[in-house]
Structure 1
Amino acid sequence: MSLKENFEKYLLSNLINVESFHPYFNEALNYMLKAGGKRFRPLLLLNVVKAYEPLLLKNSYPIAAAIEFLHTYSLIHDDLPSMDNADLRRGYKTLHKKYDETTAILVGDALNTHSFYLISTAPLSSDVKTKLSYELSYNGGIYGMVLGQAIDCYFENKILDIEKLKFLHIHKTAKLIAASLKMGAIICEKDEDFQNRLYNFGIDLGLLFQIQDDLIDSLEDEKSAGKTTSNDTNKNSFVNLLGVDGAYNEAEKLALKLENELNSFDKNLKESLENLLTEYIFRHRKFMNK
């Protein structure tokens, strides 16, 4: 089985189950995890571990799951009526549409906190787990994703310049992607310079990922995208600021930069990341028939 298939099997075998007389809370906790997804962030971590310490792959699955749990919480809250008010996610009804808004808020809270439970109970050294908790909380919290979301929501219907737009999306999207790569290097106990090199690569990758998502929102229908689209008309997106051609050009510049950096990695890391990243680095090209 592929790394993605193995991780998917692990994730579905380790869903949350709490003793309770609530009629559907356990079902709701796992609803969006079972809905699938690219598993992009956990696979970044696992591919770094595969490159350098393949014997630690099994021990790293809980950390990869923690990243996916945190990411999934952010999607559930992002879809809420007070934020994007989306109806569709991963081809399924969003959680507040499937159940109710209260359930969606509580499930998001639960997945957020449970991600740190998964790190704390993983079969890794205490020192490594402390560093992993720091990276996930720093990049997923007020210094990263939460700050980005706050800026995104506050500045709806207010146009930001390109530098502020990048600041927004570096925090909202890119930092968790960058942290996923860095956390893989932490598990392998690579030196700080290398960790930071991977992190910076991840920031560029996350920005590219966001520009491509903006193109998807603008150019794809809901069925193709598997989520609510044409939902960014009031938001600060790269397409809204630069137009479709401008957003494509920004994506292409980042893609070529990332391709060069990927080619500069050592053989093990390049081979491990190449199959995963090649699919995403140039996915914007399909929108422009190029």
Structure 2
Amino acid sequence: MTKPTFTDFSQAIITQLERDITAYITDKHLPEPLHSACLYAMTNGGKRVRPLLVASSFATVSQVINQQNFYKNIGKIDSVRLSMLAVELLHGYSLVHDDLPCMDDDDLRRGRPTTHIKFGEATALLAGDVLQNLAFETFCEQIFAESWRIGNNLLTTFTPRARRMIMGQMLDLNGEQKNLTQAELEAIHRDKTGALIEASVLMGGICGQANEQQLNALEIFSKNIGLAFQVQDDILDVTADTEQLGKPAHSDEKLDKSTYVKLLGVEQAKDYAQSLFDTAKNAVIAEFGNENYLIDLANWLWARQK
């Protein structure tokens, strides 16, 4: 069987993930309006980049992408399915809190009112708290679902990178209204944006029982993709409009944040993003060849407009 297209693969993964998100939150019997706020925050048409990285990394390492219907059945593998759920729940929590008036103070997320605009600040704050907690609850299930070793490895990969994401958010706030160097800017975003992307790629590899050499290649890929993703965001913030982005354009300028565009200019920032994508893809190609979903995903990310 020919390798299914990335479009087919990603659509199947996202369909499974969105069913799991709704079922998982509903199963917790949260009181209203907390239940509705959590569902609202998590079912708002996001790109699902991080779960797709988990699935693509697993498919690349396990080398079973050509088996009939594998891309449809990947959601039946508990460790993969729960890892996808965990990274997206943690990402969802971070967005709910990022949008709050005490943080970035945004009214629009993915073309809809942000959670605190829809439900109020107190409910949004609690929704973020619950989503973070649920992300870690999934590992209680993973540790016993397939094997203690895989579950433990997933937890020890995920936990420090969740902490790093929050550290990066603090550094980002500290950097407002300051002229940061490129090294300082990268230190922020290797944590704030990059840490969860690293976790996603590495957890997919762990689920596929990657060896040390393979994990090293995945780590190089993830570190470079994570930084490239942030450089792209900085570019899109000034080159796309609010309708394209689904959130307010020029929001970084409003908060007087240091960005790669502010530091390098648009064209040089694009060149830098391209070099990061190339480094990421070369690491994967050297280890796994160029016919895999991580390369497809990198190409898709490079072409994104929001």
Task: Give TM-score scaled by structure 1 length.
Answer: 0.90
Gaps of 5+ in 2: 1-6, 65-69
2:279 to 250, 257, 267: 257
The one-letter amino acid of 2:93's match is Y
Structure 1 runs (4+) greater than 6 angstroms displaced:
none
Q: Structure 1 residue 279: deviation in Å?
A: 1.3
Select which of 257, 260, 265 maps to 1:243: 265
**Residue matched to 1:5:** 11
Aligned to 1:34: 43
Amino acid at match of 2:264: L
Residues 127-176 of structure 1: CA deviation (Å, up to 9, x unaligned): 211111111111111xx111111000012001111111111111111121
**One-letter amino acid of the counterpart of residue 276, structure 1:** L
* Deviation readout 1:63-118 (Å, 9 max, x if unpaired): 11111101111111111111111111112111011111111111111111101111
Q: Which residue of structure 1 lines up, in the alignment, with residue 90 of structure 2?
A: 70
1:133 corresponds to 2:133? no
* Structure 1 letter corresponding to 2:226: G
- Give 1:99's aligned residue: 119
CA distance in 1, matches of 2:173, 2:206: 33
Q: CA RMSD in A?
A: 2.1
Q: Deviations for 1:37-86, whole angstroms, at most 9, x for unmatched residues?
A: 11111111111222344579322112111111011111111111111111
Q: How far is 1:196 from its partner?
A: 2.7
For 2:175 and 2:296, how far apart are their aligned partners in 1?
37
The yes-or-no answer on 1:276 pairing with 2:297 is yes
Aligned partners of 2:35 and 2:57: how far apart in 1?
32
1:275 CA drift (Å):
2.3
Structure 1 counterpart of 2:268, one-letter code: G
Alignment of 1:1-290 (within 5 A): 2-14=8-20, 15=22, 16-17=25-26, 18-19=28-29, 22-53=31-62, 54=64, 57=74, 58=76, 59=78, 60-122=80-142, 123-141=145-163, 144-233=164-253, 234-267=256-289, 270-283=291-304
Q: Percent of aligned pairs with the same residue?
A: 33
C-alpha distance 151-9 of structure 1, shift in aligned 2 (>3 A)? same
How many residue pairs match? The answer is 281
Q: Take 1:191 and 1:257, find their aligned partners in 2: how far apart are those partners?
A: 21
Tell me how far apart the structure 2 counterparts of residues 152 and 114 of structure 1 sit (CA, whole Å): 25
